[in-house]
Structure 1
Amino acid sequence: MGGTRVRTRYGRFGGALAAVVAVLATLAPVSPPAHAAPAPSVAPDPFFTYAGSTPLRELAPGTVLKTRTLPYRVAGVPLPLRVVQIVFRTTDQQGRAVAGVTSVIKPLTGTTSRVISYQSFYDSLDPEHGPSRAIAGSTAPGAMAAHVETVLMAAFLLRGYAIVMADTEGPTADFAAGPEYGRVTLDSIRAALRTPATGIAPAAKVGLVGYSGGAIATNWAAVLAPSYAPDVDRRLVGAAEGGVLVRPAANLRYVDGSRIWAGVIPMAVVGVARGFGIDLMPYLSDEGRRIYARLEKAPIIEVLGAYPGLTWADLTQPAYADPASIPAFVRTVNQLNLGTRPNPTVPMFIGQGTGGQLEGTRGDRPGLGKGDGVMLAGDVRSLARKYCAGGVDVVHREYPLSHFTSVPLWLPDAIAWLGARFAGRPAPDNCASIPAGNPLTPLAPAR
């Protein structure tokens, strides 16, 4: 009888998820024309802001600041799914104590000892586009990624896992600032484990998973966990990621002038300047300044395909057409090179597409080779081989498709791999068969 009730509940929830998929399938990332009027502004939800009397710097990372429980909402419509939202203390890209936020989608079967930390690919320069805002009822198009991603993780949810989805870019949406993504992810896990209302058991194990922007957070969390959050590192069963950003300086060369992904260049300029607190305006051309101002709160859905053929040289003054001629830029992007960072201590599943020409990105640039349209396959191979050389069990797979079209192949592989890690099966590896990749050398300053 109890089993019948559980199956019925799963069936109803599955129907709700199917409805979400049907709604989201009608949404396409269409960029508004340049003259379009801005969307009406909505007052930020005060829940996401910390106003306590204790300075954040006096609190330990992961400290729970406040919580609330609410139904999961899609475009304001509540679903039969409960979410615990948590505001917690974390650390931004400049080492400052800030307030982060995460949403814990509660397990359907009561208490659970299995947790998926799902890192979102919401990719935006506006903090109001974070997954927690979407789950709370935001109708902003830039916030809709979270609903697609919850559907992607339904296989875990229906098996009784809890899902933790942090707003990984932090309170100021520091797009592409990888170390901040990683710290926010780790502190969100700490906060979720410390909040009894989530239904997470005290001794729960955690798996990391994320694609694209979510892979930035996943990989940095795995790399930083041993030093920044050893308490979390001990709970991790593994990290699964796809569409991986390894060496941003190389990726900017790869998408330079591309049809769909070129707009990521100014997005990264805005996000990195904001996250690291550097001023790149003196180096920008008039057109670069106009685009910079236009994108200061833009989500990626307003950028993809909106700047076909845009190059770095279009954004900068002639003297700075080579990114390596800007010392602040060189210092910053080299801090984001995963090839120079320590290895993780947990098993890794890494998937990467190689068919970027399907999305209008050349695959024949010297020293770069093929990619998926935005991420470089050769860089990912080298990172996987680096981890293998350090004793990490790595499964690396390539898909002959683009960034978007690789997801249907990567996701089942990632889910199956993580399921095996939670089941306690030994982590496999294919280290011996991973082809050689690109050198992961830092960007050298121009002379």
Structure 2
Amino acid sequence: MAQAGLSGAQPELEPQPVSGQLPDSFQQWVDELIPPPALAPAVSTPLTDIGGLPDELAALRSAVMPAAIGDGFIDDWPERLEDYRDGQIVEFRDVTSAAWLVLLTPVNRVLQLKYRTTDSHGAASYGIASLVLPNGAWTGPGDRPVLVNNLPINGLGRDCNPSYNLSHGFNSKTNLADYLPPTTQLALLRGYAVLITDHEGPRMAYADPYVAGHAVLDAIRAVRYGFPEQFGDSRFAMVGYSGGAIATHGAVKLMPEYAPELEDVVVGAAMGGVPADFEILSRSMNGNLASGVFLAAVFAIGRERPEILARMNHLAQWVAVSFMKDQCSSTFGLPGLLMLSIDAVSNMPNPLHSQLAQDIFGVTKMAGKKSPVPLYIYNGEQEWWVPAEGAKNLYQEQCSLGATAVYRSVIGEHVIAAFTGYPESLVWLDQRLQGEPAPNEC
């Protein structure tokens, strides 16, 4: 469709400099000044083996994987995982004795499920999710509804996951976003079961929507397959904000191709502060106070997509194999005070305008994939780190594809908008779980 006011051939525009862009010679200077870290040869394991990588890159990929945290349920790769179907439970454990103190609300039982899922390359992987059962019998129609709470984990280490907090109690890495807003607690008091996903996968691939989307969809399968008498006919709804919205966004867009049987099971998905377009984030979060989070997300996606790791300079490699590889956002966000550009950690000039960047932007945006379930999308109008542009574009895309959707522009930047947009999104979710038809404002 032609745009009004535009006619004739349009001039080609040169790429605009990215905030904080450094001279092209900087990358060469860094690698001449700083030697690469000495790395042990890669050992082929299910966690690290992707096949066909040069020896140096394979060694680097092996070295940047998250360290074990001493909890075999979380750490250990299940044997013969490829023999299980997606969503099939491999193992489970009861963590009620530790979890009820952490949840701050009465619960009946908290089970952690370890199940087969699929990574971003189509290979067998495993996921972990915590199923929280409320006190009291469900007295509503049908089976007890389940709210899938995709929390903003935003972590590089396995002890950043909600499953670790629920099974080990309050600790130095407990995430305040697990409690505020109090989605889990309010859902339990409503009588719903809550499914809390570790959606970054065993490689802690923070911000990879394929890993997260698969993990969320297979967590729903695990509950339905594992507990058919209680949840075989339950309604499920998903919610996620910020990093949790990445998981929710991935799940709804991947559902038709990956888990089509869930299209009549999941009755809605609410997402706010939506990082739906990483190209926009490369402009809003690079070379400023948000750069620590931006660089950590790029690195974490590289755990699944090693072509990113191959473009790290020696400085970045040293950081990537250090203690920083296992930190949560409260720590890895601090280097944002240095306001580093991604150019400072790349071995090629202008990395955000490279073909590699364009490929990653395209893969993670998942453009043209229609959500088969109703959507509630909201974003702070005063956002500067995760601009409303991305959420609005997502809403418009889904409307154009024929999805059922609602968009709300709310007051505030990223933190404030998490609360100003919350009440209406919770009402919308409750209506879906109660069986009310979703409104469509497209």
- Note if 1:255 corresponds to 2:285: yes
- Note if 1:109 corresponds to 2:136: yes
In the other structure, the counterpart of 1:363 is: none
Contact 1:100 1:184 in 2 (8 A): yes
Residues 285-319 of structure 1 deviation map (CA, whole Å, 9 limit, x = unaligned): 444334434432221111334322221222224x4
Report the Cα distance in structure 2 between the residues aligned to 1:101 and 1:382, rounded to whole angstroms: 32
Report the Cα distance in structure 1 between the residues aligned to 2:102 and 2:265, rounded to whole angstroms: 35
**Structure 2 counterpart of 1:264, from 269, 293, 307:** 293
In the other structure, the counterpart of 1:323 is: 352
In the other structure, the counterpart of 2:328 is: 299
Deviation at 1:42, TM superposition (A): 8.4
- Which structure has more relative contact order (CA 8 Å, sep 6+)? It is 2
**Structure 2 counterpart of 1:99, from 101, 122, 126:** 126
Query: Within 5 Å, which residues of 2 pair with 1:27-42?
Result: none
Deviation at 1:199, TM superposition (A): 8.0
Contact 1:129 1:140 in 2 (8 A): no
Deviation at 1:72, TM superposition (A): 5.8
CA-based RMSD: 2.5
Give the letter aligned to residue 178 of structure 1. Answer: P
Query: Within 5 Å, which residues of 2 pair with 1:62-211?
Result: 62-71=87-96, 73=98, 80-81=106-107, 82-110=109-137, 112-145=143-176, 147-148=178-179, 151-196=182-227, 200-211=230-241
- 1:343–1:272 Cα change, 3 Å: same
Deviation at 1:143, TM superposition (A): 3.9
Give the letter aligned to residue 284 of structure 1. Answer: M
Higher deviation after alignment, 126-135 or 198-207: 198-207
In the other structure, the counterpart of 1:430 is: 441
What SS class does the counterpart of residue 154 from structure 1 fall into? helix
- 1:141–1:249 Cα change, 3 Å: farther
Give the letter aligned to residue 113 of structure 2. Answer: I
Report the Cα distance in structure 1 between the residues aligned to 2:272 and 2:412, rounded to whole angstroms: 12
Structure 1 vs Structure 2: percent identity of aligned residues? 26
Contact 1:206 1:237 in 2 (8 A): yes
What SS class does the counterpart of residue 391 from structure 2 fall into? helix
> Once superposed, which parts of structure 1, at least 4 consecutive aligned residues long, lie more than 6 Å away?
74-79
What SS class does the counterpart of residue 393 from structure 2 fall into? helix
- 1:150–1:171 Cα change, 3 Å: farther
- 1:408–1:113 Cα change, 3 Å: same
Give the letter aligned to residue 267 of structure 2. Answer: V
Deviation at 1:187, TM superposition (A): 0.3
In the other structure, the counterpart of 2:362 is: 334
In the other structure, the counterpart of 2:260 is: 230
Contact 1:107 1:162 in 2 (8 A): yes
Report the Cα distance in structure 2 between the residues aligned to 1:206 and 1:106, rounded to whole angstroms: 14
- 1:266–1:373 Cα change, 3 Å: same
Tell me the number of residue pairs that the alignment of Structure 1 and Structure 2 aligns: 368
**Structure 2 counterpart of 1:48, from 74, 79, 82:** 74
Structure 1: 5+ residue stretches without partners? 1-40, 356-371, 432-447
What SS class does the counterpart of residue 203 from structure 1 fall into? coil
Report the Cα distance in structure 1 between the residues aligned to 2:397 and 2:277, rounded to whole angstroms: 14
- 1:145–1:184 Cα change, 3 Å: farther
TM-score, normalising length from structure 1? 0.76
Deviation at 1:232, TM superposition (A): 1.8
TM-score, normalising length from structure 2? 0.77
